[in-house]
Amino acid sequence: MGELLFFFLENMALIIALMYLAIKTKEAVLLDWTNPIRQRLIISAFFGFLTFSIMYNPFHFEGMRLDLREVPLFFISYVGGWQYGVISAILPISFRAYLGGPTVVLGILQSIILPIVVGSLFHERKGVNHFFGIVDIKRMMLAFVVFESIKSVWMIFSTPANLLIASGMFLFSAAAIFSMALIFNSENRMLLLRKELEFYSNQDPMTHLPNIRFFKNTVGKLIDRQMPMAIIMLDVDYFKVYNDTHGHQKGDAVLRSVAQILKDSTRKEDVVARYGGEEFICCLHAPRDEEEAAAFAERIRKNIQEFHFEGEEHQPEGVLTVSVGMTFTAGGSELEEMIEEADQSLYQSKRQGRNRVTVFPGVMAESHEKVLN
């Protein structure tokens, strides 16, 4: 009996080792995890292989082939649902049928089909990617106890297995699946934390726009591809007056509104970010020419001017506006140089009366000289 217990311990160690290896590998390889079909096939193939590996060298007992094959099949069905379980079972079922023996049908039903059925019944059907989430270990272990209880009773009354064998399989299987869940949750917590830190390191927490770090990294890649683009910088006019009149909370609300107008006024391929303070920056992706880019910048200015901000009637011009500076390149310019040119144009707009668009090198196109009457 000691030999059997040592065998189950080996099975448990194999399950934990391969699970750990798979978890550590999933982010290292460049796979499209957003594709549900590809994800289902890759993950199911791994669990099918894991189950096959456990079955390959079983413990023989009175015509039975004993192993812990049910553990990975239950886990995949509980986490992913019946579709993952069914695909994962193709290789184990084929292999067990090929080996034959007096308990082949019972072996398939009790240790392959049953864990998939019970695991799928307890699967939480939510519209999320379960393989990048956190497993409820208490709920999973309760479901596993239900499965093992059914299986153990079924084995004792239908196969040569006795209570001691069934109990040993129960304990080692429970330890194995508990370990799988711990590894799974630990790695996914690290992944979620890493993504959260990456997200906040690239985002302005107040406006929820990308920050200048993200902007430079993203636009720098477009620069490297020699893409035509325009850099647009804008600054809220008399923002200190607004803050002094209405308070910083209302001032923050203005910045959030400007950020939303910028997002609504730009396209998916454009890049918008908070530059700092009351300044924002935008990269217009692949405009046809400078005139199209300037018209785009003017449209942004006009959209902000026409938006009703709370208390804007107390501003010096009776309305809240922005000054805009823009520079254009057909490709080949340096990003820092373009930002500096847009910044110079922005301050030219400020000097010439605000609420206008200036195109580098300080040229005010006639169609962009609109100011408040």
Q: Cα 13 vs. chain centroid, distance in angstroms?
A: 31
Q: Is 37 exposed, middle or buried (0-12, 13-18, 19+ CB in 10 A)?
A: exposed
Its sign, for the CA torsion 65, 69, 71, 73, is negative
- Report d(CA 131, CA 135) in Å as an integer: 9
Choosing from 70, 278, 279, 341, the catalytic residue is 278
Give the Cα separation of 332 and 330 in Å (integer): 7
Burial class (CB in 10 A: 0-12, 13-18, 19+), 295: middle
Distance CA 70, CA 12 (A): 11
CA distances from 260 to 45, 264, 272 (A): 44, 6, 10
Question: For residues 327 and 345, is the Cβ–Cβ distance under 8 A?
Answer: yes
C-alpha gyration radius of the chain: 32
Q: Tell me, yes or no, if 278 is annotated catalytic.
A: yes
- Residues with catalytic function: 278
